[in-house]
Chain A
């Protein structure tokens, strides 16, 4: 095993490069001149030209384009994949996740963390599971690698909230147990291929 990583003790001494920003007025007089120049040249109305035109159309000619979000929402395409969903087994209602940690491993943004433990039923239990949506790049690797089709990307696209944690916990992503019947399977990406039966060697069974 290489010891290189232990030998760099100069933590924090990186080579920073400063951005070369254009000069800003340094003196009070210079700043005043800049304000006067910008105000009197009516640059503002050049920028607002299109806006004013569209406003006039909307107000007086009934040509409104705005969707009144969040009261109105545009429909998303059926193949749209965003916020993760955790699926349940249809028969038992138990969550599908077995805690294998492959999503944690494959995540290129290192956004997923999982905690597991030895449960009282002698099975591996998922104690805690989070996806950091500040880092998630929605690449879909987690859904692809999942051996149980437990994690998939759903149609929910709203990644804004007062706290990021409010939709990144396991229970928030899990299909609510009372809506198990509405749980949708996603064909295609990440799921069992249609010709799976042909490609799998059957294992002999002795009973």
Chain B
């Protein structure tokens, strides 16, 4: 997607733009205001509201879907346009309930704003109202059709960004418009009204309930009060809430969020988070980010005896075990403890990622993966993922994958052992490979085969790949026209005569093709893959490869890292990796992690002999991540700040450090000490910005600048098939919206700790099973996940006390025995 810089004029102001951009986005980037209701940046134009009407070179166009051309002259406002816009707003106000007094959106409602801005003080149009009720679409979504203006932003975002496509427009049952309006009304307002009068929003599966991931992004984008979070309905006016810019800490995406807080109740002035909001034009949230906000450690007090015991525990600790739900500053404190007191630091997920990054750095000479997910989403039109469960691991990676299909006319290949019903629906050019666990190396070889220049490959790899190719023949059916002689009787003369006709006939033909054994080994359709792939590659320019947690927890992780480095080297592909947990990347960069815990273990949000816990269940309370300030390193290689939304009454890790003589005044005083040789920059915490500019530029913290690593010659080992797992396999994977004990604590996240299986598998297993691993066993309820395909079952790890990491060991897959019943 190479683009050229051009200049256009908007309202007499010269603006720099890129060929192919929408007028609206250029105007916004240059601070010129054009009203728009239905348009969402990063999604396709809906053209429902028509209010973004402008004049381009004297011609009326909709700025949300008209692309700029060099030298274009645009007028955003004149009397005719204003008249049209006023008529549109009047139409939106027809029969809109006069309930601003009780509406949750009042004060931040776009219908209110535009009605006031355009000075609508009278109404010229009328139509009998239709009764439209309210509905609870899911455990979190509440829809009031009476307030809905059918801008379809929810439909658009669910399809183009989230990928669930769980909403659509349905019949409203309203009266048809009075024909006389057609002649008297402005044209756009009339056609907008015509459509509005026919539709409301309904779940797309034909039932009363949405079948979706409950991310709530539809509630965020709703311009009016029609779509709201169920728990927030009539709880608070928008203006009473205090917005606290922060960073979501549940997964490695590190999304920008606002916590909105207010006093708990009339009799309780303690701050409480009422909801989470996001800059939905630039950043989409998942269900955990939006609904999993109340995980604070609210009961913490300064317990001096517990504190003294904690200091003593830290002094005698041999090992500190911690989770990745930690700020960079705290990780640095733990690293300081390691350096001064020689404790071992144990964090299984970050360690696996760290060693993968290290192996990658040695093989590629780059300190860290070269690209980030934002640029992949913006620029790539062909995306390949290996080893990440797209629907569960990291919601934003899934959004990236889906958005590329929808917005960049993209294609995608999804390699994963667990079949998924949702991923193929993202686009018609999505291919999925349900390979066996352990065959990730073959998938990487296939990527090399498909995207690399054969000549640039090292000999051994080239030979491996070539060995999989062989010419074969396949049968194709073709339609040919065949001449047939038939005897017909003329109906009038009753004469028989022979006629020669051409009739279509299907014939089978043998054709030779290049049989790709890699595709076959990975469970793909080798016979037709060359055709499918040819179609996918049509007009594609920018390619991307995304690697995930399966590769870090893999018996041959180092070899996979080398393959990744080779792909990065010889293919013109962007490369990014999904850090396994919240701040796993930060921890991997800051801490030197050890493999095994020995001796006396202090756990920080993790099991141990003495537990420091932000959940309030340990031996000493710690602040949860919505109660402390600090920085997190997200998967886009950005160090982002987060602020404290709620008060905290107990001790922090920095207090413990102070007692050991290693502390600083504030936790955020550690920010400037983050290691510069690992890519961090010495910027004061208070100087870190946290927001977005009008053109979507991310001004949050700073980007990591990881120095290059020393490249050592590394050989890629051939695939030997030893690590391939057979039989009943369990996969360590959390349900959507669950990431850790913290999401589990939140009251709006309901997904239980259970075994998740495809409908057929669940049927076979019954209600409850005992899962027997090599290292132990576990009894779990069986829950159907409609979107899983195949035989592999998923076992979550979000409850740390279940010690699932120990059961699985260094692999995300395990061969297990499933015993029915209890």
Contacts and interface: CB of A to CB of B under 8 A. Distances in A.
Contacts of A205: 126
A3 B125 contact: no
Given A99-B101, A119-B234, A124-B102, 5 more contacts: A100-B106, A101-B237, A113-B263, A117-B235, A203-B122
Contact of B266 (A119, A125, A128, A148): A128
A103 to B, nearest CB: 11
B234 A117 contact: yes
Contacts of A7: 686
A204 B91 CA distance: 12
A201 B121 contact: yes
Contacts of A45: none
B266 A6 contact: no
Contact of A118 (B101, B121, B234, B244): B234
A6 B643 contact: yes
Contact of B126 (A1, A9, A118, A206): A206
Nearest to B123: A203
Nearest to A148: B101
A-B pairs, top 10 by smallest CB distance, nearest first, are: A100-B101, A201-B122, A206-B126, A204-B126, A124-B102, A118-B233, A124-B234, A101-B237, A203-B123, A118-B234
Contacts of B666: 9
B127 interface: yes
Nearest to A146: B101
A117 B232 CA distance: 9
Contact of A104 (B123, B240, B643, B686): B240
24 contacts: A3-B690, A7-B686, A9-B666, A100-B100, A100-B101, A101-B237, A102-B101, A105-B237, A105-B240, A113-B263, A113-B266, A115-B266, A117-B234, A117-B235, A118-B233, A118-B235, A124-B102, A124-B234, A201-B121, A201-B123, A204-B123, A205-B126, A206-B127, A207-B128
B245 A115 contact: no
Interface in B489-518: none
> B101, B127, B235, B689 — which one has the most chain A CB atoms within 10 A of its CB?
B101
B235 to A, nearest CB: 7
Given A105-B240, A123-B102, A147-B101, A1 B235 contact: no
Contacts of B239: 105
B128 A3 contact: no
A4 to B, nearest CB: 9
Interface of A: 1, 3, 6-7, 9, 98-102, 104-105, 113-119, 122-125, 128, 130, 147-148, 201, 203-207
A122 B101 contact: no
Contact of A99 (B234, B240, B690): B234
B539 interface: no
Given A100-B101, A100-B102, A201-B123, A1 B691 contact: yes
Contacts of A116: 234-236
B234 A3 contact: no
A3 B121 contact: no
Contacts of B102: 98-100, 123-124
Contacts of A104: 237, 240
B169 interface: no
Contact of A98 (B101, B236, B244, B690): B101
Interface string B273-288: 0000000000000000
Per DSSP, chain A at the interface is loop
Given A3-B245, A116-B235, A147-B101, A101 B240 contact: yes
Given A3-B686, A118-B233, A125-B234, A206 B266 contact: no
A203 B100 CA distance: 17
Contacts of B245: 1, 3
A104 B121 CA distance: 27
Contacts, number: 71
Contact of B125 (A98, A105, A204): A204
Interface string B232-256: 0111110110011100000000000
A113 B264 CA distance: 11
A176 to B, nearest CB: 22
A128 B267 CA distance: 10
Contacts of A122: 134
Contacts of B643: 3, 6
A16 B127 CA distance: 65
Nearest to B104: A124
Contacts of B689: 3
B234 A130 contact: no
A118 B103 CA distance: 11
B641 to A, nearest CB: 9
Contacts of A147: 101
B266 to A, nearest CB: 5
B124 interface: yes
Contacts of B486: none
B265 interface: yes
Interface string B683-698: 0001001110000000
A203 B126 contact: yes
Nearest to B245: A1
Given A203-B126, A204-B126, A115 B265 contact: yes
Nearest to B643: A6
Contacts of B644: 6
A102 B100 CA distance: 11
A117 B235 CA distance: 5
A130 B100 CA distance: 22
A82 B644 CA distance: 41
A165 B236 CA distance: 23
A3 B643 CA distance: 9
> B234, B644, B689 — which one has the most chain A CB atoms within 10 A of its CB?
B234
Nearest to B237: A101
Contacts of B134: 122
Nearest to B666: A9
Contacts of B122: 201, 203
A7 B689 CA distance: 12
A121 B567 CA distance: 61
Nearest to A4: B686
Nearest to A117: B234
Contact of B128 (A9, A105, A206): A206
Contacts of A6: 244, 629, 643-644
A113 B134 CA distance: 28
Interface in B155-191: none
B690 A130 contact: no
Contacts of A203: 122-123, 126
A204 B180 CA distance: 15
A148 B99 CA distance: 12
A125 B101 CA distance: 12
Contacts of B240: 101, 104-105
Contact of A130 (B121, B266, B686, B691): B266
Contacts of B691: 1
